[in-house]
Amino acid sequence: MHDILKKPFRLYNTIQHYKWGSTLPDAFIPQLLGIDGEKNTNYAELWIGSHPNAPSKIKIEDDLVSLNDLIHRFPDLILGKYVADRFNNKLPFLFKVLSAAEALSIQAHPSKGQAELLHKTDPQHYPDTNHKPEIAIALDSLTALAGFATYYQCHKTVLRYPEITGFLGRDALSDLFPLRKLSRKQQSEKLRQMYQTFIHLTQTKPGLYQRSVNALAKRLRSQQIRRSSRENLFLDTLKKYGSSDVGLFSLFLLRMIRLKAGEAIAITPGIPHAYVQGNIIECMANSDNVVRAGLTKKFQDTRTLMTILDYTPNPVQIIKPIQSENEYNYPVFTSEFKISRLELASGSQILNTTNQLEIFLIINGFGILSWDYNENKEKISKGQSYIVPGILDNYTITSRSPMTIFRVQIP
């Protein structure tokens, strides 16, 4: 078995058909994979990894084997001994392609300690004990809501929309926005107070909330001036989820970020966020722990949400990778993964694994994958993904056309 495993393996991955995913003819994932796709089917995510909900498979001697099972049987050979020891014989990350045609739910992820406690008290909704730091890298573009806007931007927003002002109430507003300068710490505290007041009112005065939401929608639809993208998002999500959804007014309190191709954002524990539209590479710790805060019909846990949110203003910044020859490295911010983008114009590139597992995905182009000092070779092309076991210390990619490859390693 040692010799059989000493090679890169092509991965056979699962497509997730969530309702917010893109559809034909614009569906990105079928185009990437070179498949026809089906009409009226949403192509939302491609999962690459060993998550138990949708583990990738590899072919060994004509049999498809779950990557989970393979790692369980041969952790030192597949992960590499150092990684196997560090992460309890488990692959520590999940790699995805995500294609959003409409907004995902507003959500936040717990820290490691919070995840352990949530799993203990509510394993149905928090299925594992891991945290979920993640990075989103735009393949073409990405519009996202990520983190709270600044205190002063929120004040300006509240004043701009009298329906939100009326919902919060005059007394609350005078307390939240006093006529004095506040320190950065005080601004964060006021943002926390404002959001918690807002959530509390949606629970205790649902009728008032729905009337306020409907009043804003009516005014926006009737106004003569052009609506902003945020206002259009509000109207679109109202139509989909109804006026009781807690996320509708939250849309106006979060920062809207637009990424160009190659740019990224990092989402750390407690950051409220929602990917709105675009095609991205996403990598995260191998977890499915999500605390939802609106724009969804799924389970929402507002009590937990209040305890884990990070109220720091503008906490999410646009990341641009650091170039080193033909590899563009995104900053490492977690112990579970690091990710880079290879741009291969022509010729051969030897890639060293340091005897730790890595996974790569080809976004564009085609070429030759070789190993064992070029003794073994196979053709590779757009849409294919491969796992390189830790037992293999290097491999070579020879491009036959310009190639773009995303490579995930463990730091």
List, by residue number, the catalytic residues: 292
What length does the chain have?
A: 411
CB atoms within 10 A of CB 80: 23
Angle between helices 184-204 and 151-160 (to 10 degrees): 40
Distance CA 219, CA 163 (A): 10
Q: Which residues contact 154 (CB under 8 A, 6 or more apart)?
A: 148, 191, 194, 253
Question: Which string of b and e fits 174-195 if b means at least 16 CB within 10 Å?
Answer: eebbeeeeeeeeebbebbbebb
- What does 16-47 look like in DSSP terms, one character per residue? E--TTBB-TTS-HHHHHHT----TT--B-EEE
Its sign, for the CA torsion 370, 375, 376, 381, is positive
Angle between helices 184-204 and 206-222 (to 10 degrees): 100
Question: Which string of b and e fits 237-254 if b means at least 16 CB within 10 Å?
Answer: bbeebebebbbbbbbbbb
Distance CA 359, CA 394 (A): 13
In 223-320, alpha helices (H): 229-241, 247-250, 302-308
Q: Is 313 helix (H, G, I), strand (E, B) or coil?
A: strand
Distance CA 398, CA 308 (A): 46
Distance CA 60, CA 58 (A): 6
CB-CB contact of 105 with 274 (8 Å): yes
